[in-house]
Amino acid sequence: MNVKNLVLVPEALVAAAAVLLLLGSRLGWFGSSSRRYLPAAVAGVAIVALGVELWAGATVSTYFGGGLVQDRFALFAKAAVLLALAIVLAVADWTAEDSVSIGLAMPLLAAFGVMVAASAGDLVALWAGLELAAAAGVVMVSLRRPDLALRLVITGGVATSLLLIGLAFLYATAGTSDLTAMREVLFGGAPTIALAIPLFLAISGLALRATLPPYHLAGIPTILGASPVGAGLVLGLVAAAAAVVAIKVAAVLTPIPSVYSSYLEVIAAVAMVGGGAAALAVRSPRARMAYLAAGQIGWVAAGLVTHYRAGLAGSMFLLGAFAVAATVGPAVMGRAEGGEPALAGMAVLRPARAAGLTLAMLSLAGAPPLAGFFGEFAVGAALAQSGHFGLLALGILGALLSLAAAVGTLRLIYLQSPLEEARRGAALPVLTRLSTFGAVAFCIVIAAYGLLSNPILGLADQGAEALGLR
């Protein structure tokens, strides 16, 4: 088989698995015993897709008349999201999910959406990928809390409107929807208020999708009410899709950064500091994780402010760490209905999960020597290179607040004695070989991200170069 054709195999595998799961669910193909084998089988599909992506994804090619582009950026983002997908499917406690088949299908669809956005060659594919990921999130939330799903639909609609207005004006300005061509046109253009205002709206829409403070008011309750996998989907995959769109749009706009950088700087600063402060203020472990994630996605936005290759590469590098930690974190945590008591003494009862949760919290907080620290440091170096010392200082402040918040949760996990079932408020995650394996794999990924940061950051750097940055 031609290697060029193999490049689309991961997308095909993920989409086909999702469709089969939905059909099977509808037609009653899966019996009650499916809980035992389906997660392992679907996680296996994700691992195969990841393997194919890493093997064949280095081939640079275009598809569908330029609608999809396979470059280093796509390779990086797709690999990151497939890795997050495989681990979350393995580590999840499927007894805590409302439907196994839909619970497996929606993360697949969301990952497919991120993959489409990552390899998007034009505005349409970019938007379609983001909407697909977001729609999967709505379905997941609706399984448990239709009221929150409705809220997500409404805020998602607002986000989509804002984004579409922005992208439409961008299209009108450049006269093309092709991202590469658009960038070339903008090289000769000048920054105007007429362009800055719609971009303001588009960035707001993306921030709403990524649940970034101060646009988090609708997103956080949704994350709290969803099942563990649903929460990870909204927190990790949908936010990653929004970040991928933001990175691609920022790369297009690098010839005229002044139209967006000031507003993005404010968004990043508020997210970094606000995320950390809110994480410190809340008591619920899942809410804390959501705010830690919001703080880290603020760092991703900060990297875009630099509008340099190093900054975008740093953002991508951090996005990889974020996608894995934020997607898997809620699944490792399990049921969160019990609030803080649900985690008391988790280290004694579920040591592998406790280790995974610890690393997820610390990585999202940017604690060394974990994945998040390396990513935030790379972004910080880019901010220093570009002279954004104020933003860097605010980011460090946010990271410190996040770190203090994470220590608060670790205290619960390691220092408190386990409570009996009635006082715990939520059942402990069911122990299976697959979930233990998933938790261990997650720990290894988060810890090894730093050790392997040279090739990973190198790939991210090539990804930034592929977006046209020098």
Partner 1 sequence: MILMAIAAASPTPAPVVPGAGIFTSPLLMSLLVWVTVVSAIAIAILPNPRGRYDVLMKQIGFFTNLGLVFILFVAYNQFEAFLPTAQYEEKVPWLQAIGASYHLGVDGPGMVMLILSGLIGIISVLASLGVRERVRTYFVLLLLTQSAINGAIVARDMFVLILFWSAAVVPIAILILGWGGPRRHAAAWRLVGYWGLGTAALVIGTMVLYAAAGGSSFDMDVLLKATISPRVQLVVAIAMIVAAATRLPLFPLHGWARDVYAEAPIGVTVVVAGSAARLGAYLLLRVVIAAEPAAAHLLSPVLAALAALTVGYAALAALRTIDIRQVGAYLSMIPGGITMLGLAALSPLAIAGSVLSLFAGGMAAALIVSACATLADRAQSRSLQVLSGLAPRMPILAWLLTIAGFGILGVPLFGTFLAEILTFFGSFKNQPIGAFAVAAGLVIAAIALASLFRRVLFGLPNPDAPGVSDASLGETWYLALLAGALLWVGLFPSGPKLPGTDTPLFDQGLVNVLAAGISDISSPYTGATPSPTP
Q: Parallel, antiparallel, or unpaired: how do β-strands 61-63 and 68-70 relate?
A: antiparallel
Q: Which of 170, 242, 323, 392 binds partner 1 (CB under 8 A)?
A: 392
Residue 408 or 425 having the CB closest to partner 1? 408
154 contacts partner 1 (rule: CB under 8 A) = no
Least Å distance, CB 202 to partner 1, is 29
Rounded distance, CA 184 to CA 179, Å? 9
373 contacts partner 1 (rule: CB under 8 A) = yes
281 contacts partner 1 (rule: CB under 8 A) = no
Which residue has tokens 């974020």?
322
Q: What angle do CA 461, 462, 468 make, to 5 degrees?
A: 100
378 contacts partner 1 (rule: CB under 8 A) = yes
Site mask, partner 1, residues 409-438, x = CB under 8 A? -xx--xx-----------------------
Rg (CA), the chain: 20
Q: Which of 190, 194, 217, 384 binds partner 1 (CB under 8 A)?
A: 384
Contact 236, 147 (CB under 8 A): no
Least Å distance, CB 79 to partner 1, is 17
Backbone angles phi, psi at 120, to 5 degrees: -65, 135
30 contacts partner 1 (rule: CB under 8 A) = no
Residue 335 or 353 having the CB closest to partner 1? 353
Of residues 83 through 122, those in contact with partner 1 by CB under 8 A are none
Residue range at the interface with partner 1 (CB under 8 A); choices 124-132, 135-143, 149-157, 375-383:
375-383
Least Å distance, CB 134 to partner 1, is 32
Residue 234 or 324 having the CB closest to partner 1? 324
Residue 148 or 466 having the CB closest to partner 1? 466
Residue 85 or 361 having the CB closest to partner 1? 361
Residue 305 or 362 having the CB closest to partner 1? 362
Contact 405, 278 (CB under 8 A): no
Residue type, 92: A
403 contacts partner 1 (rule: CB under 8 A) = yes
Q: Which of 70, 173, 315, 453 binds partner 1 (CB under 8 A)?
A: 453
Contact 156, 164 (CB under 8 A): no
10 Å CB burial of residue 468 (0-12, 13-18, 19+) is: middle
Rounded distance, CA 173 to CA 150, Å? 34
454 contacts partner 1 (rule: CB under 8 A) = yes
Rounded distance, CA 369 to CA 167, Å? 39
Task: Please give the C-alpha separations between residue 342 and each of 139, 283, 346, 358, 428, in angstroms, as whole numbers.
Answer: 26, 12, 8, 15, 8
Residue 158 or 396 having the CB closest to partner 1? 396
Q: Which of 124, 266, 400, 426 binds partner 1 (CB under 8 A)?
A: 400
Least Å distance, CB 74 to partner 1, is 19
Q: Can you point out the beta strands (E) in 390-431?
A: none
Rounded distance, CA 369 to CA 446, Å? 9
10 Å CB burial of residue 201 (0-12, 13-18, 19+) is: middle
The partner residues of 70 in beta bridges, in order of sequence, read: 61
Q: Which of 381, 419, 427, 434 binds partner 1 (CB under 8 A)?
A: 381
Of residues 296 through 355, those in contact with partner 1 by CB under 8 A are 310, 313-314, 347, 355
Rounded distance, CA 464 to CA 251, Å? 8
Residue 217 or 393 having the CB closest to partner 1? 393
Q: Which of 23, 194, 217, 393 binds partner 1 (CB under 8 A)?
A: 393
Residue type, 157: G
Q: What angle do CA 344, 346, 349 make, to 5 degrees?
A: 125
Q: Which residues bind partner 1 (CB under 8 A)?
A: 310, 313-314, 347, 355, 362, 367-369, 373-374, 377-378, 380-385, 387, 389, 392-393, 396-397, 400, 403-404, 406-407, 410-411, 414-415, 448, 451-454, 457-458, 460-461
